[in-house]
Structure 1
């Protein structure tokens, strides 16, 4: 079965994911914890990593089942077809957001332009190119994932 990306109404990601789970649809809404400040207090809240997106895994023949949930707008399309997300990409996101892993990152002395392979953490076994080196952080380009990773030095 493929993972598809469902576009939701703004701020409906968690509600849509809960409705889909109740209907027996395998779904994933990656959440991160942020500290939000109001005029009288600060509070930790869980917010979606991707605004207005929920990942669903279901057979192609049952794709219309998601529209029975309130808050679902449409599928995300890529080149005229529903966008498909690979299992490895979903697993990387899950691994990256898992707080129990306690991902330790060791930093060696790298130069700009060095090609390295990450050997630990959520992006283990990924190749990266060092784009920037400062006293406080490294910036790495993960070409296979199409993203830039900024790592703080402790």
Structure 2
């Protein structure tokens, strides 16, 4: 039996819930993070659930189900990192579930590192290493990492860093 992982998939706009239902009907475990928000109509205010990540949802599958996912109406493709479908760690899905069960009207704020800010690397061979932003150019960030009493300076794509 192959190991199952969580993967992120990209859907047509406003198809997140439909795709989640279509996949569930095919016995595929999905998670579409839904945010509870208040919406105002002319005659009332109502609490509705909207996707937290527009056009994205998560599936828990092994690699043999990739084609089945791609053939589902509304699915555009998997989210790729370094040429392979991106694996989402179990604890990240659990963390999103817990957060959304506890809070309403959640906002997504993009991470934009600033000079001298402490950051942590979240991908690659230096995963979970902390460092300090030295320089920023376009989507590339130069990070200084202290190790063995030396300063290693490396250039990273902004998407590989998180706030520390």
TM-score interval w.r.t. the shorter chain? 0.5 to 0.7
Match of residue 59 from structure 2: 56
For residue 94 of structure 2, the aligned residue among 91, 94, 104 is 91
- Structure 1 runs, 4 residues or longer, greater than 2 Å off: 38-41, 145-148
Distance 2:162 2:101 in 1: 21
Match of residue 24 from structure 2: 21
Distance 2:8 2:27 in 1: 17
TM-score when scaled to structure 1? 0.62
Say how many residue pairs are matched: 106
Distance 1:147 1:17 in 2: 31
Q: Over aligned residues, Cα RMSD in angstroms?
A: 2.3
- Give how far 1:42 is off: 1.7
1:31 maps to 2:34:
yes
Match of residue 66 from structure 1: 69
For residue 44 of structure 1, the aligned residue among 27, 42, 47 is 47
For residue 162 of structure 2, the aligned residue among 118, 122, 146 is 146
Q: Which runs of 5+ in 2 are unaligned?
A: 104-160
67-76 or 2-11, which deviates more:
67-76
Distance 1:27 1:59 in 2: 13
- Give how far 1:147 is off: 5.4
TM-score when scaled to structure 2? 0.59
